[in-house]
Amino acid sequence: MQMAPFDEVLVDVTSQSPKLSTAGYDVAGRFPIIDQGASPAAGRIDDESLVTRVERPLILFGDHTRRFKLVEEDFVVGADGLKVLAVRPEHDARYVLHALRSISLPDAGYSRHFKYLRRAYLPIVSLEEQRRIAALLDQVDELRAKRRHTLALLEDLRESEIHQFVLRQGDAARPLAQVVPSISSGKSLVAGAAKAHPTARVLKISAVTTGQFRAAESKPLPETYDPPHSHLVRSGDLLVSRANTADLVGAAAVVRDEVSALYLPDKLWRLDLSSVSDKIFLWALLSSRPMRRQLSALATGSGGSMKNLSQKIFLEQLLPWPSVEQRAALVRIVEEIEASKSSSQAHLAKLDELFASLQHRAFTGQV
């Protein structure tokens, strides 16, 4: 398969596009404002003097975020760090987009990444073959997008059910200290400080950040450290991250499967409640968006990105705690939603695997 340097496929036309600072973003207008963020559009505006006219599809690259977007309508470039790339006429824009996304760029943090992209070579086939490959990858990508949309809807449904449940309780609430008999945690261990234990591992805080427990997010336990049995992670545990970034501090997850030789770190709390059902009930409340925002606002930290939640403040938080029957009713609804999410996530994982395989084969001449 022929490989062509970046500049033979794309032209950097960024200088031809006026930029709008974030202060000028609006929510309404004829033209979308596109920046390097995750959203397709960051806002809208009516000012025609800022518009980049699109005659042929353009590819946008986030110089900091490494995100690629395809634009097929007139738009406004938002803020800084967005590169506007024109695809040369002899190439198909969607094919080039997929080829660019297949490139492994180094992660330079919030530094600029375009310098790495410009050094890349892209696999080139005939225009007809480019269109065929792009159509194939688009089909699978659309299925992935639909599955992600389903997951987002299920997440919204869970939020709605929890919100309605909280509203039905009115002002009746208890501080967490009255429903959580005790909180325990592990010990801070430095990875690589000593020879690793052959089987035992200690969790990272990332084991709970998605809201779903991930045992793989762990590191080897030093062989010289013999943790107490009370630090052992068990099936049914409700774990909460007491330290994390501002948007992730307070993240919670329930250990649903049997695990072995996994131990708590100091930055994860185990909340000890009397029943697994109550742990799932509390997890649902702690994972709700309003509660996550509240815990984030209560976390403290001087400098850096790590925030800490004090146990005292955490236990002072008021949460609805109705009868056993009412708690169990919410748990049943939440568990049904989580089962649907689990099924959709498994399907999405298979689609991601299929897409990665097709992408590899497409750009190595095997499709």
Please compute the mean of the pLDDT values over residues 327-343 and round it to a whole number.
96
List pLDDT tens digits, range 213-248: 999 999 888 888 888 899 999 999 999 999 999 889
pTM listed for this prediction = 0.84
- pLDDT score for 234: 93
Query: 3-state DSSP call for residue 132?
Result: helix
Q: Is 124 helix (H, G, I), strand (E, B) or coil?
A: strand
Contacts of 126 (CB under 8 A, 6+ apart): none
Tokens of 76: 């406004």
**Does the pLDDT at position 21 exceed 90?**
yes
**pLDDT tens digits, 131-190:** 999 999 999 999 999 999 999 999 999 999 999 999 998 878 899 999 999 999 998 776
Tell how strand 75-78 and strand 51-52 pair up: antiparallel
Integer Cα distance of 343 and 163 in angstroms: 24
The answer to whether 64 touches 112, Cβ cutoff 8 Å, is yes
- Maximum distance among all Cα pairs of the chain, rounded to whole angstroms: 69
| Phi and psi angles of residue 245, each rounded to the nearest 5 degrees, phi first | -70, 165
DSSP labels, 291-347: HHHHHHHH-B-SSSS-EE--HHHHHH-EE----HHHHHHHHHHHHHHHHHHHHHHHH
Name which of 15-19, 39-43, 110-114 the model is least confident about: 110-114
Confidence band (pLDDT; 50, 70, 90) for 355?
very high
Average pLDDT over residues 291-305: 85
Q: Can you say whether the dihedral through the CA atoms of 135, 140, 146, 152 is positive or negative?
A: negative
Read off the pLDDT band of 193 (50, 70, 90): low
**What pLDDT, on a 0 to 100 scale, did the predictor assign at position 191?**
55
**DSSP per-residue codes, 146-170:** HHHHHHHHHHHHHHHHHHHHHHHHT
User: 324-362 vs 276-287: helix axis angle to the nearest 10?
Assistant: 60
What residue ranges define each of the domains in the chain, with the CATH number in brackets? 2-124 (3.90.220.20), 126-172+322-367 (1.10.287.1120), 174-316 (3.90.220.20)
Q: Grade residue 196 by pLDDT with cuts at 50, 70 and 90.
A: confident
The residues pairing with 32 across neighbouring beta strands, listed in sequence order, are: 44
- The radius of gyration of the chain from alpha carbons, rounded to an integer in Å, stands at 25
- CA angle, 144 as apex, 141 and 145 as ends, to 5°? 90
d(CA 185, CA 154): 32
For 179-190, write each residue's pLDDT tens digit.
999 999 998 776
